[in-house]
């Protein structure tokens, strides 16, 4: 080392330019300084994940997928040490040294992992690539289980994350990637196989197509058409005021100017010819007992009539009318409707969509657009998954931590600052889809939007599992209030601090359960449910169903929880006494 220093001193005496040359050479050999990398917002490195081949016994225990990360540096070298690559992976990772011993894989929290270079890793020179090989504990036939949302963090700035925007997942095409083991057929789908599977599908002649979607119970197609040359007069009783306004909105684009007003209220003679009338009414439907049953008639003399068993039935009939409307027409063209009679009702009372906004948040406008599309296809239940381990998405009065902590994901240094990245949400806090929540006003607007389209919103508050967002948020609340000397600090505690239970959820969490042995758990549930009910009342939309999840409770839960075991013993004693 001293010889090297004296050698540099001799060169310095000869020429400063030589020292500059030596410094540049050292930078090329050792990589770009960490501070230079950390000054950027995005990592100037590309990453590719690939399955190299599948491995089986006796090479490995069971089955594993040998995969790799290939790091390619751009105009700056990646140093040999002083950094970590973070990513989420629901396919899990084999922890410890990688296969080539160039790095170590560590689990940070849940499905968030970190790869650190080892002493054997020599860095990545500018413009070059290096590959690191590792195992997944199972075969990786589904690419949604591949690593997602990668980012770099340098040791000298641990709070700053650099997203890898150039990240590719290599498709699985080679036999060694698709092998299920000796003697087993590979998992592969070729164009020939797809063609063979589709050979059983036959074309349906246009004349055999159902007139509306879904296929109605009964319909009779007449001959000829009904021509609307002007906006029809909409007649409806007061109970269908909302449906009348809605169908007027549907028809408005065909006559952007001079549209006639709706006639809502007591029935009266039409101001126009009968053919230019759209009548909405409620009446018994002999063909079906469903409250969503309806009849739609298009008559050349009487115009259009939609009769529903309820307002919901009338609304479904309006959707069928929409199916019969032509595409947007040039000005001056009449709207021609086929002469038809449809008698329809849903086959299933529950026709729903589950939207998981806990794991991947979608803003209010997106949810409302989804509701519009559901209504268009006569779906009637929106199961809104509002809470889970990876996010709490509804503001609850009195518990701001639920959204301040539980609705935000991203890279951080403090363990309770917010939730960690998940499902490829990346490092940056307060960005979609990892972060976000609905305010009280947002939720009320969603409820009203859905009710106007006869879609019931079923909120889901997960318990007792899948509750890490709530558990962490209430831990933050407890610490804040304790620091302020507030006596209510423990009012909403969800986890027993003395719990030493060992368990792991399918999402790899070990600290995500509400403890049923704590009175504060039930106090929390009562408060949250009461606030959800209050929001529905404010919206004028009754809460008919609340989903609580109650799934995937891992083995070992509460086994070492003093409060949990006390509660179990108490209930067993009460059951024995009652017998």
490, 464, 468: which is closest to 477 by C-alpha?
490
Helix 440-452 crosses helix 364-376 at what angle (to 10 degrees)? 10
135, two tokens: 């195992």
550, 355, 362, 357: which is closest to 466 by C-alpha?
550
Q: What is the DSSP string of 434-497?
A: TS--B-HHHHHHHHHHHHHTT-EEEEEEEESSS-HHHHHHHHHHHHHHHHTT-GGGGTT--S-T
Query: Which of the residues 456, 552, 575, 579 is marked catalytic?
Result: 552
Handedness of CA 332, 333, 339, 345 (dihedral sign): negative
536, two tokens: 């529905």
Q: What is the DSSP string of 135-162?
A: EESS----GGGS-EEEEEEETTSTT-EE
How far is the C-alpha of 279 from the C-alpha of 237, rounded, in Å?
9
211, 207, 172: which is closest to 190 by C-alpha?
172
The bridge status of strand 167-169 relative to strand 161-163 is unpaired
Query: Within a 10 A sphere around the Cβ of 564, how many other Cβ atoms?
Result: 20
Tokens 């070298």, residue? 77
How far is the C-alpha of 435 from the C-alpha of 407, rounded, in Å?
5
- Please report, for residues 227, 256, 297, 327, 331, the alpha-carbon distance to residue 318 in angstroms, rounded to integers and kept in the order given: 18, 20, 11, 16, 23
Contacts of residue 211, Cβ cutoff 8 Å, sequence gap at least 6: 219, 221, 320, 323, 324, 338, 340, 342
Give the CA angle between residues 424, 428, 432 to the nearest 5°: 65
Tokens 């039935």, residue? 313
How far is the C-alpha of 436 from the C-alpha of 407, rounded, in Å?
6
The residue ranges of DSSP E strands in 294-443, in sequence order, are 294-299, 303-308, 335-344, 352-356, 381-385, 387-388, 391-392
Is residue 552 among the annotated active site residues?
Answer: yes
Residues with a catalytic annotation lie at: 552
């Amino acid at each position: 080392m001293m010889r090297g220093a004296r050698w540099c001193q001799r060169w310095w005496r000869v020429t400063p330019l030589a020292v500059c040359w030596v410094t540049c050479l050292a930078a090329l050999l050792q990589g770009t300084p960490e501070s230079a990398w950390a000054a950027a917002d995005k990592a100037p490195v590309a990453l590719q994940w690939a399955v190299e081949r599948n491995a089986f016994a006796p090479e490995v225990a069971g089955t594993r997928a040998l995969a790799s990360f290939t790091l390619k540096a751009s105009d700056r070298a990646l140093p040999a040490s002083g950094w970590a690559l973070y990513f989420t992976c629901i396919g899990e990772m084999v922890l410890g040294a990688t296969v080539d011993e160039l790095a170590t894989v560590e689990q940070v929290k849940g499905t968030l992992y970190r790869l650190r270079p080892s002493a054997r890793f020599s860095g990545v020179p500018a413009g070059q690539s290096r590959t690191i090989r590792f195992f997944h504990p199972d075969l990786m036939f589904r690419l949604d289980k591949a690593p997602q949302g990668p980012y770099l963090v340098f040791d000298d700035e641990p709070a700053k994350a650099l997203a890898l925007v150039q990240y590719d997942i290599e498709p699985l095409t080679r036999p060694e990637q698709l092998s299920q083991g000796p003697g087993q057929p590979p998992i592969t789908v070729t164009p020939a196989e797809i063609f063979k599977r589709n050979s059983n599908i036959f074309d349906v002649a246009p004349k055999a197509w159902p007139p509306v979607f879904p296929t109605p119970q009964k319909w009779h197609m007449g001959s000829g058409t009904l021509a609307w040359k002007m906006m029809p007069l909409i007649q409806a009783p007061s109970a269908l005021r909302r449906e009348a306004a809605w169908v007027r909105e549907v028809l408005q684009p065909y006559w952007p100017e001079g549209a006639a007003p709706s006639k809502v209220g007591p029935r009266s003679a039409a101001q126009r010819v009968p053919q230019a009338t759209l009548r909405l009414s409620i009446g018994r439907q002999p063909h079906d007992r469903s409250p969503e049953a309806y009849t739609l008639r298009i008559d050349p003399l009487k115009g259009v009539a939609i009769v529903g068993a309820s307002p919901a039935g009338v609304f479904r009939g309006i959707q069928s009318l929409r199916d019969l409307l032509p595409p947007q027409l040039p000005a001056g063209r009449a709207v021609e409707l086929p002469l038809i009679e449809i008698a329809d009702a849903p086959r299933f009372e529950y026709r729903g969509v589950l939207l998981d906004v806990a794991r991947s948040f979608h803003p209010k406008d997106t949810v409302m657009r989804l509701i519009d599309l559901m209504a268009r296809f006569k779906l009637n239940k929106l199961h809104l998954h509002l809470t889970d381990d990876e996010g709490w998405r509804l503001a609850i009065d009195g518990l701001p931590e639920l959204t301040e902590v539980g609705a935000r994901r991203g890279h951080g240094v403090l363990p309770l600052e917010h939730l960690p990245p998940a499902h490829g949400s990346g490092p940056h806090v307060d960005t979609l889809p990892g972060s976000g929540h609905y305010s009280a006003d947002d939720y009320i607007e969603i409820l009203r939007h859905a009710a106007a389209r006869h879609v019931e919103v079923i909120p889901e508050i997960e318990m007792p599992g899948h509750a890490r967002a709530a558990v962490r948020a209430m831990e933050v609340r407890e610490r804040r209030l304790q620091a302020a000397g507030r006596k209510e600090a423990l009012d909403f505690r969800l986890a027993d601090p003395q719990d030493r239970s060992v368990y792991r959820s399918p999402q790899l969490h070990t600290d995500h359960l509400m403890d049923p042995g704590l009175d504060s758990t039930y106090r929390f549930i009562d408060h949250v449910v009461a606030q959800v009910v209050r929001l529905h009342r404010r919206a004028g939309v009754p809460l008919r169903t609340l989903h609580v999840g109650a799934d995937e409770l891992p083995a070992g839960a509460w086994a070492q929880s003093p409060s949990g075991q006390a509660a179990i013993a108490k209930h067993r004693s009460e059951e024995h006494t009652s017998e």
